[in-house]
Chain A
Amino acid sequence: MAASSLTDVFERMEADFETKNPDIDIVMVFGASSTLAKQIVDGAKADIFASADIAQFDELSTFVTGDEPTIFATNRLTILVKSGNPKAINGLDDLARDDVLVATAEEGVPIRKYTDRLLTAAGVTANFVTFEANVAGIVTKVSSGAADAGIVYESDVVGAESSVQAVAIPADVNITARYPIAALTNSTHLADARRFVDYVTSTSGRATLIDFGFGEP
């Protein structure tokens, strides 16, 4: 199970990994990290968990045993706008404008936590109009033009269609999200699960992550 922001890159990695290991068939489930953590606590069968935030592993640790999580990727935040940037959004300050409709995620979803932390530090009260269930919801609202802007991960812009573009957030205020991954030790395929985790954290895994807009751990 993996954070929805990992969807594109993990699907590629799955294909690469299965070509090299034809005896292993990986089944991926993507969703908001917080939702997935709940499902695992409630007994969903998962061999590996990759989250957008270490907080979910803390949540799991009292219920599920797992290997020590490894940070395998980082992701920075960016402002997603419609391509051509018709509303001239140049920075976080513009998110407070009345004519700029901003989409974010519901409380509890990691992207919302990062967004709040970022905006609080910048002293900006954004003009939020909707609280989506996950990052994909934010991207849909911006790409369809329903909202003008949303704060998402840099990797979301690489995966998104050409109808959107990114407006960079200056490095000194930006926040780095760290992605931990671990095999869960009550997995019925623990050895295979550890092989995939090793692959994700290997140099070739890292190269794929960088292709998809993620940063080095």
Chain B
Amino acid sequence: MTDARSHRRHERLPRTAKVIAAFTVVFFCLPFIGLLWRTPWTRLLDVFGDSTTRDALWLSMRTSITAAVISVFLGVPLAWTLASIPFRGRNIVRSLCLISMVLPPVVGGISLLFSLGRSGLFGRYLDDWFGFRFTFSSWGVVVAQVFVALPFLVLTVEGALRQADPRFTEAARSLGANSWYAFRRVTLPSIRSALIAGTVLAWARAFGEFGATITFAGNYPGTTRTLSIATYLSLESDPGRAMALSIMMIIISFVVLVSLRDRWLSPTDGARS
């Protein structure tokens, strides 16, 4: 996109839209300003450095990245299916897979507890046969995170697949590529930015997940107490600590979102071929 074009687009934007946009930005900033104002800055480094925080941060990083990777493995084939095969009941299947976006996470956690929990409908067999439990284990955290994060990836990737130009994939197919090969080498690269955006969204949702995690996996230092759980529960006993942990989460999320956007998600990226 040339400078002249971007300039023209800038001028065409009505004033009202700009005013509302500015207001929206302020709306997003206000809570952070309030938080920064109350944060006990002198304690920040102490809280960042102590071993409880490091355990929670390390657990959050491990579980949320695992959850994002699993979401890609499970979500891309699902998005592909939803985008390309017009089977009967597709809308119902899609809604079913996206419903955890709308549910209060605690409801998701309760549902997981009664299905995959230690005495749950299916979870009891995992325990009986393999001695494996999701509850009170880091894998339980991952499952809860995948449950809430997966829809973000599916939605983003499916949307991009629907808009992708099918001619390139068809050309690859006509040249003898099988459908997996064509998908991996032609279709996926063409939706690269959407795939990355979806992965980052899923990671961010997993990183911030709290309700489903504590309900399904519980809260124990080192195995299930993620940074978001630690933040919420510190509000009870030590609000200053909770604020310091919030700052930590904001910094991490902000750095990840900003750096990934700059690197891979420039606005013109999707249009390039």
- Seen from chain A, the residues whose Cβ lies within 8 Å of a Cβ on chain B are 32, 34-35, 38, 82, 101, 103, 106-109, 128-133, 137, 140-141, 144-147
A-B contact pairs, 27 of them (CB 8 A): A34-B237, A38-B235, A38-B236, A38-B239, A82-B119, A103-B218, A108-B237, A109-B236, A131-B218, A131-B219, A131-B233, A132-B214, A132-B218, A133-B214, A133-B219, A133-B233, A137-B214, A137-B215, A140-B113, A140-B215, A144-B113, A144-B119, A145-B124, A146-B113, A146-B118, A146-B119, A146-B218
Q: Is B159 an interface residue (CB 8 A)?
A: no
A38-B239, A106-B233, A109-B236 known; A130-B218 Cβ under 8 A: yes
Most buried by B among A34, A145, A146, A147: A146
Question: CB-nearest residue of chain B relative to A146?
Answer: B135
Partner of A106, one of B113, B120, B219: B219
Q: Is B125 an interface residue (CB 8 A)?
A: no
Q: Is B64 an interface residue (CB 8 A)?
A: no
Count B interface residues, CB 8 Å.
23
Q: Is B145 an interface residue (CB 8 A)?
A: no
- Complex contact B236–A128 (CB within 8 A): no
Q: How far is the CB of B134 from chain A (nearest CB, A)?
A: 9
- Residues of chain B within 8 A of A101, CB atoms compared: 136
- Seen from chain B, the residues whose Cβ lies within 8 Å of a Cβ on chain A are 110, 113-114, 117-120, 124, 135-136, 214-215, 218-220, 224-225, 232-233, 235-237, 239
- Complex contact A130–B117 (CB within 8 A): no
CA distance A165 to B237 in the complex (A): 30
Question: CB-nearest residue of chain B relative to A101?
Answer: B136
- Residues of chain A within 8 A of B135, CB atoms compared: 141, 146-147
Known pairs A34-B237, A129-B218, A141-B135. 17 more at Cβ < 8 A? Answer: A82-B119, A106-B236, A131-B219, A132-B219, A133-B236, A137-B215, A140-B110, A144-B110, A144-B114, A144-B117, A144-B120, A145-B117, A145-B118, A146-B117, A146-B136, A146-B218, A147-B136
- Residues of chain B within 8 A of A34, CB atoms compared: 236-237
CA distance A146 to B215 in the complex (A): 10
Pairs A-B, 9 closest by C-beta atoms: A145-B119, A130-B218, A108-B237, A108-B236, A146-B135, A129-B136, A106-B233, A34-B236, A144-B113
Q: Mostly helix, strand, loop or mixed at chain A's interface?
A: mixed
Most buried by B among A82, A128, A141: A141
- Residues of chain B within 8 A of A132, CB atoms compared: 214, 218-219
- Residues of chain B within 8 A of A146, CB atoms compared: 113, 117-119, 135-136, 218
Question: CB-nearest residue of chain A relative to B133?
Answer: A146
- Complex contact B136–A35 (CB within 8 A): no
- Residues of chain A within 8 A of B233, CB atoms compared: 106, 131, 133
Q: How far is the CB of B31 from chain A (nearest CB, A)?
A: 14
- Complex contact A133–B232 (CB within 8 A): yes
CA distance A133 to B211 in the complex (A): 10
- Residues of chain B within 8 A of A35, CB atoms compared: 235-236
CA distance A216 to B97 in the complex (A): 51
- Residues of chain A within 8 A of B214, CB atoms compared: 132-133, 137
Q: How far is the CB of A190 from chain B (nearest CB, A)?
A: 28
Q: How far is the CB of B212 from chain A (nearest CB, A)?
A: 13
CA distance A140 to B212 in the complex (A): 13
CA distance A35 to B110 in the complex (A): 22
CA distance A144 to B113 in the complex (A): 7
Question: CB-nearest residue of chain A relative to B219?
Answer: A131
- Residues of chain B within 8 A of A147, CB atoms compared: 135-136, 218
Question: CB-nearest residue of chain A relative to B220?
Answer: A130
A130-B224, A144-B114, A146-B113 known; A106-B218 Cβ under 8 A: no
- Residues of chain A within 8 A of B118, CB atoms compared: 145-146
Q: How far is the CB of A125 from chain B (nearest CB, A)?
A: 15
- Residues of chain B within 8 A of A129, CB atoms compared: 136, 218, 220
- Residues of chain B within 8 A of A82, CB atoms compared: 119
- Complex contact A128–B220 (CB within 8 A): yes
Q: How far is the CB of A137 from chain B (nearest CB, A)?
A: 7
CA distance A107 to B113 in the complex (A): 24
- Residues of chain B within 8 A of A38, CB atoms compared: 235-236, 239
Q: How far is the CB of B211 from chain A (nearest CB, A)?
A: 10
Q: How far is the CB of B36 from chain A (nearest CB, A)?
A: 17
